[in-house]
């Protein structure tokens, strides 16, 4: 399976539920790139040079990293990809990787959340500088403004959670993802789920999409 959706759409939350239900790994591209670098593998060393130079990791190199990760024992019975593919070229690379495994995708699930809701979700997040606990100015406000309920530390807004940064990230997401959505729709794999609802309702429709039912 592949998960698509803007930052803040709830992909991580739903991925954890799917991972536990089906006993398959949640493969995040960012995490496997960091793991490859930390592991000191030949591929990891190549990626480290690119990352440290400040350049984007080429599609083919990311494809090699994903192929290496999907070749591990825990992915034998399935996997959930998050953050890959991001472009049509990466989708083609994934199709080649899966063809070599004599496998195909079950579904490509797009969590649909409007830009304004994404900005509200992300810009309101605050993290404790002392213990790392998360809160939200709208959805889980602390008892004292700017103060962590857990330890009394100072709550801060991450740089990536500023509205202007979020808007730029959304612009890139739309530019990259719209062709990808059309690509998977043409293959009959796309399932669009309304992600702007309570978590349980989203999970219900995600499971229905995976198991062959129609999403609401």
The answer to whether residue 129 sits within a structural domain is: no
Domain count, the chain: 1
The answer to whether residue 202 sits within a structural domain is: yes
**Residues lower than pLDDT 70 in the chain:** 213-216
The answer to whether residue 21 sits within a structural domain is: yes
Could you tell me the pTM of the whole model?
0.81
- Per-residue confidence (pLDDT) for residue 7, from 0 to 100: 87
The answer to whether residue 40 sits within a structural domain is: yes
For 48-115, give the DSSP string.
HHHHHTTPPPPHHHHHHHHHHHHTSGGGTT--EEES---SHHHHHHHHHHHHHTT---S-EEEEE--H
Cβ–Cβ under 8 Å, residues 68 and 60: no
User: Catalytic residue numbers?
Assistant: 11, 86, 125, 158, 169
Report the CATH number that the domain containing residue 193 is assigned in CATH.
3.40.50.300
- Residue 131 in tokens: 């213990």
- Per-residue confidence (pLDDT) for residue 181, from 0 to 100: 93
The answer to whether residue 147 sits within a structural domain is: no
Q: Please tell me the distance from the alpha carbon of residue 53 to that of residue 19, in angstroms, as a whole number.
A: 34
For 125-139, give the DSSP string.
EEEETTT--EEETTT
Residue 136: phi and psi, rounded to 5, are -145, 135
- Per-residue confidence (pLDDT) for residue 68, from 0 to 100: 86
- Per-residue confidence (pLDDT) for residue 111, from 0 to 100: 95
The answer to whether residue 155 sits within a structural domain is: no
Full domain range(s) for residue 167: 2-121+162-210
Q: Please tell me the distance from the alpha carbon of residue 197 to that of residue 84, in angstroms, as a whole number.
A: 25
Cβ–Cβ under 8 Å, residues 80 and 3: yes
- Per-residue confidence (pLDDT) for residue 215, from 0 to 100: 43
The answer to whether residue 135 sits within a structural domain is: no
The answer to whether residue 131 sits within a structural domain is: no
Question: Which among 73, 81, 77 is positioned nearest to 32, based on CA atoms?
Answer: 81
């Amino acid at each position: 399976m592949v998960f698509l959706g803007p930052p803040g759409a709830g992909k991580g939350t739903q991925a954890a539920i799917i991972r536990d239900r089906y006993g398959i790994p949640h493969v995040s591209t960012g995490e496997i790139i960091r793991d490859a670098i930390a592991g000191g593998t030949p591929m990891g060393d190549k990626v480290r040079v690119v990352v440290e130079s400040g350049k984007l990791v080429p599609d083919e190199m990311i494809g090699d990293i994903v192929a290496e990760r999907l070749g591990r024992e825990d992915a034998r019975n399935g996997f959930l990809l998050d953050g890959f593919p991001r472009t049509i070229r990466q989708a083609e690379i994934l199709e080649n990787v899966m063809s070599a495994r004599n496998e195909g995708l079950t579904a490509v699930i797009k969590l649909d959340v409007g830009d304004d809701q994404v900005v509200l979700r992300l810009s309101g997040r605050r993290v404790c500088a002392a213990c790392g606990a998360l809160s939200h100015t709208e959805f889980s406000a602390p008892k004292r403004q700017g103060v962590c309920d857990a330890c009394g530390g100072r709550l801060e807004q991450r740089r990536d959670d500023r509205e202007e940064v979020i808007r730029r990230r959304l612009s890139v997401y739309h530019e990259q993802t719209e062709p990808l959505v059309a690509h998977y729709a043409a293959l009959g794999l796309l399932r669009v789920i309304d992600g702007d609802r309570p978590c349980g309702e989203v999970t219900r429709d995600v499971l229905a999409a995976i198991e062959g039912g129609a999403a609401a």
